Each structure stands twice: as structure tokens, then as C-alpha cells.
Amino acid sequence: MLPDVLAASPDRLADGTLAAVWAQIQRTAGCTHPIRLAGHVDQADRDTGELRRVFDSAGMPDGTILVPCGNRRATVCPSCSYLYAGDTWQIVHAGLTGGLDIPDTVARHPGLFVTVTAPSFGPVHSRRSNHGPAQVCSPREGRCPH
């Protein structure tokens, strides 16, 4: 998206929309796949019931407003993934040491990170036979030959 904006910069500078486009780019924080939203927001007056238009994307550059994609995969969008990882770290850190309305006394409690496979999944060790569907490697008795 940024190369498109840079190529169109002289035109946007001439028509006065460059500042608004740049503000949208900064708001998306470098998102590589921003979502383009178009439309309007109407607000009803509580007393009279009259509808007033409080926002219309038609007044934005290109008639859209950009919002970050929010993808967690770094291969898709590095900036949104980085933001998500930072938020996750803050939540986990606060849960282990306190902060964010969590008392500091939690730091004295043991912390465990447990992953559990539900029994409904059945045996999870499997192999493929002649490129066919997944088959159980061995019955439950004994050890797997692998």
C-alpha cells in the first residue's frame, strides 16, 4: 500500500488529501493488509428520534477508512502479529507477577503452563500408509516402533 501512496503523493499533495491518507497509514501502524471500510454512522436523538449522520466515509480519502487487519501470523502481517504478541506477553506477565488490576501476591503462587489433549481425539500418534488416510501407528498395547 505504501508504494501506491508514494506514487500518488504529488496528486494527493495537490488536492490536499495527503495528510488524511498519512494519518490513516499511521493509525494502521504499518499493517500490510489493512481492511477498507466504507459506509456511514447515524445517531438517533433520544428526545426527538431524529437521525443525524455523525460519520460518512465518503469524506475520507478514496471513500474508505483503513483499519488494521489484526492477523496474528507474522507471515501474513508482521506489524499486527508483533502487536498481538506484545499484548499477549503483557497479559501473561500480569497473570504471573501482578499488575493490570491483578494483585502482586500472585507472584508467590506457582505458575504452570499445561497443554492437554482431549480424550475424544483418540490416539494422536499416527502415520500415513501409501499416501492414504491417517492410520493409528499401533494399538494401545505396547510401544510404538518409531
Nearest to residue 70, comparing CAs of 115, 12, 29, 41?
29
Last residue of a domain, one of 39, 67, 95: 67
Tens-place pLDDT, residues 22-76: 888 888 888 888 999 899 999 998 888 899 998 888 888 888 888 899 898 999 9
What is the domain range of residue 128?
70-136
Asked whether 80 and 31 are in contact (CB, 8 A), the reply is yes
Note whether 58 and 96 are same-domain residues.
no
For the chain, give the percent of residues with pLDDT over 70. Answer: 73
Note whether 62 and 74 are same-domain residues.
no
Distance CA 87, CA 81 (A): 10
Residue 130 has pLDDT above 70, yes or no: no
Asked whether 95 and 101 are in contact (CB, 8 A), the reply is no
CA contacts within 13 A on the Cβ side of 31 = 20
Note whether 83 and 131 are same-domain residues.
yes
Note whether 102 and 53 are same-domain residues.
no
Asked whether 39 and 64 are in contact (CB, 8 A), the reply is no
